[in-house]
Amino acid sequence: MNNTTKDIVRKVVKDVLERFAFMFVDEPDGSEKADWSDDILHAVISFNGEFRGRLSITAPVSFCTEVTANVLGIDPEENAGEMACDALRELINIICGELVVALYGNKPIFNLSIPTLDRIDSDRCRTLSADPNHLQFSADGTPILVGLSITE
């Protein structure tokens, strides 16, 4: 991911999380180590058109629960686990839709895949956070990772 692409990803992620989930997003400086001890979800969506690519979001279940509570205006205690998973799938779908327009404009047609979801452990999170194609954010104090790989 080059610097221009990173800036676009930063802008889209912050914008969507603020508008969709009413969350304040910033980027921790490199010295801060994220706490990945929570139950962690890893969502992946791919896009296919003039260019092909793969976007991922890695986040604790607690983040997904907060997104669900915020978008539906309900208490986080009311969220079932499946609702939190569903919210992460919808979040990555919206971010990917906005991202392909921000990267390539609104003329080309891209087909987005149905997002997939897995649970991963904290070791895998630390590996991903060291990967140069991943950006780390803090959403209302909760760490999330956003990864993007593009096949030109």
Partner 1 sequence: MSLNILVVDDSAVTRAMILKSLRVAGLPLGEVHEAANGKEGLEQLEKHWLDLVLVDINMPVMNGEEMIEKMRQNPLWADIPIVVVSTEGSQVRIERLQRKGAKFVHKPFSPETIREVIQQITGIQLQTAEADHGPDF
55 binds partner 1 (CB under 8 A): no
Return the sign of the alpha-carbon dihedral for residues 129, 135, 136, 140: negative
Q: Of residues 1, 44, 61, 112, which one binds partner 1 by CB under 8 A?
A: 112
The stretch among 6-14, 51-59, 88-96, 143-151 that binds partner 1 (CB under 8 A) is 88-96
Give CA separation, 145 vs 29, 87, 107, 110, in Å. Answer: 14, 16, 29, 23
Question: How many positions of this chain bind partner 1 (CB under 8 A)?
Answer: 29
Q: Of residues 6, 8, 61, 90, which one binds partner 1 by CB under 8 A?
A: 90
144 binds partner 1 (CB under 8 A): no
Ramachandran sector of residue 22 (left: φ over 0; alpha: ψ -120 to 50; beta: rest): left
Q: Within 10 Å of residue 100's Cβ, how many Cβ atoms? A: 22
Q: Enumerate binding residues for partner 1 (CB under 8 A).
A: 16, 19-20, 22, 68, 71-73, 82-83, 86-87, 89-90, 93-94, 96-98, 100-101, 106-112, 114
